[in-house]
Amino acid sequence: MRFSKKHILDMESLSVDEITLILDTADRMKEISERPIKKVPTLRGKTVVLFFYEPSTRTRISFDIAAKRLSADSLSISASSSSMVKGETLIDTARNIEAMNPDVIVIRHSSAGAPHMLAGMVKPSIINAGDGMHAHPTQSLLDLMTVRENKGEISGLRIAVIGDISHSRVARSNSIGFTKMGAHVVLAGPRTMIPKGIEALGVSVTYDVEEAIRDADVIMMLRIQKERQQDFLFPSEREYSSVYGLTKAKLKKAKDNVLIMHPGPINRGVEIAYDVADGPYSIILDQVTNGVAVRMALLYLVTGGARSADAD
């Protein structure tokens, strides 16, 4: 199969076949990072711009390492170091970057839809590295990869996503991604954190965390942000962690072979107890490892890697 998508904007626009191709490619890419010499020449001569308007450590480093392991030239721009601070608009900044002929622009932005806007206006491939509360497709793909790796397949699994669903692009992308791949997604959290009409994504919703945990094959905890107390979403970290946090006691009700995931950064002791984050069922660091492989796969595929590989 050839990969024909130029941009990776959200999970909605990827088909099951395309997702499968990305995951299969990532599985093969993973081995490169385990070699003593972690570099292949595949994307030699390609330029990847990492355009981060919002702070990010994990995702930015992951893309940077992915690009370098494929021999692409990568560089990072952050909002504070760009002309944005001088009042330049996103479009103007992007057009200036475009004028230097990069092949891929990876963008992280606090505004939903920003990558869509760029995709319609500039030539390079756009990869969405997280836009507002909207989408985080590369996170969803690495989560899919990690679950598939551990469980053999995704279809038929029950995935519980727990926390602030309203503000989470990871929850949205995973709701769409896992549902598309045949899993059943259950979203759980306080009512204040469940956005209106989210069931339209094909998921079910519960306000009872224990109900979500029961029968789950995968439990994905979301980071809780302290600032949300000001929006009256929850009264205190203390109450949040006791009612909605994942503790050993709650885990007892889960399946024996349950997997625990977290997109990071984690608040130990708030949404996830200390001992749970590091427990034997935790695959949180596998997620990070696979993030590099998935991003290598995406950079390879959007730059026409599949086409040139076919030709070889």
Partner 1 sequence: MLMLIKGGRVIDPGNLDGIMDILIADGKIVEIKKDGLVDGEYPEAKIIDASDKIVTPGLIDMHVHLRDPGHEYKETIETGCLAAAFGGFTAICCMPNTNPVNDCRQVTEYILQKAQSTGNVRVYPVAAISKGLKGDGLCEYGELKEAGAVAVSDDGNPVTNGQLMRRALEYSKGFDLPVISHCEDLELAAGGAMNEGVVATRMGLAGIPNAAESIMVMRDIALCELTGVPIHIAHVSTDESVRAIRDAKKREVPVTAETAPHYFTLTDEAVKEYNTNTKMNPPLRSSHDREAVCQGIADGTIDVIATDHAPHSFIEKQVEFDRAANGIIGLETSVALSLKLVEDGVIPMTVLVEKMSTNPARILGLKNGLHIGGPADITIIDPERSYRVTADNFRSLSRNTPFDGWDMKGKAVLTMVGGKIVYQEEPSAVGG
Binding footprint of partner 1 on the chain (CB under 8 A)? 12, 89-91, 109, 111-114, 116-117, 131-135, 169, 172, 195-198, 200-201
Candidate list 86, 191, 196, 252, residue with the active-site label: 86
95 is catalytic: no
Q: Which is nearer to partner 1, 111 or 247 (CB)?
A: 111
Q: Which is nearer to partner 1, 133 or 292 (CB)?
A: 133
Where do we find the tokens 């749970």?
Answer: 276
CB atoms within 10 A of CB 240: 24
Q: Which is nearer to partner 1, 91 or 285 (CB)?
A: 91
Shortest separation between residue 227's beta carbon and partner 1, angstroms: 12
Shortest separation between residue 188's beta carbon and partner 1, angstroms: 16
Candidate list 7, 136, 158, 172, residue with the active-site label: 136
47 is catalytic: no
**Nearest CA-CA partner of 268 in 251, 289, 284, 250:** 284
Residue type, 72: A
Q: Which is nearer to partner 1, 53 or 300 (CB)?
A: 53
Shortest separation between residue 94's beta carbon and partner 1, angstroms: 11
Shortest separation between residue 273's beta carbon and partner 1, angstroms: 29
Shortest separation between residue 178's beta carbon and partner 1, angstroms: 16
Residue type, 306: A
Shortest separation between residue 18's beta carbon and partner 1, angstroms: 20
**Nearest CA-CA partner of 91 in 109, 118, 110, 70:** 118
Half-sphere exposure of 129 (CA within 13 A, CB side): 30
The CA-based angle 238-244-248, given to 5 degrees, is: 95
Non-local CB neighbours of 30 within 8 Å, separated by 6+ positions? 289, 290, 293
DSSP codes joined into one string, 154-211: -TT-EEEEES--TT-HHHHHHHHHHHHTT-EEEEES-GGGS-TTGGGGS-EEES-HHH
Q: Which is nearer to partner 1, 57 or 89 (CB)?
A: 89
Candidate list 5, 6, 20, 58, residue with the active-site label: 58
58 is catalytic: yes
Dist CA 284 CA 263 (whole Å):
7
Candidate list 108, 134, 167, 180, residue with the active-site label: 108
Query: How far apart, in Å, do the first and last CA atoms of the chain sit?
Result: 15
Q: Name the 3-class secondary structure at 261.
A: strand
Q: Which is nearer to partner 1, 45 or 197 (CB)?
A: 197
89 is catalytic: no
Q: Name the 3-class secondary structure at 107.
A: strand
Dist CA 175 CA 178 (whole Å):
6
Which token pair is 241?
């962690």
Shortest separation between residue 197's beta carbon and partner 1, angstroms: 3
116 is catalytic: no
Candidate list 25, 59, 93, 146, residue with the active-site label: 59
Q: Which is nearer to partner 1, 69 or 172 (CB)?
A: 172
**Residue pair 294/26 in contact by the 8 Å Cβ criterion:** yes
**Catalytic residue list:** 58-59, 86, 108, 136
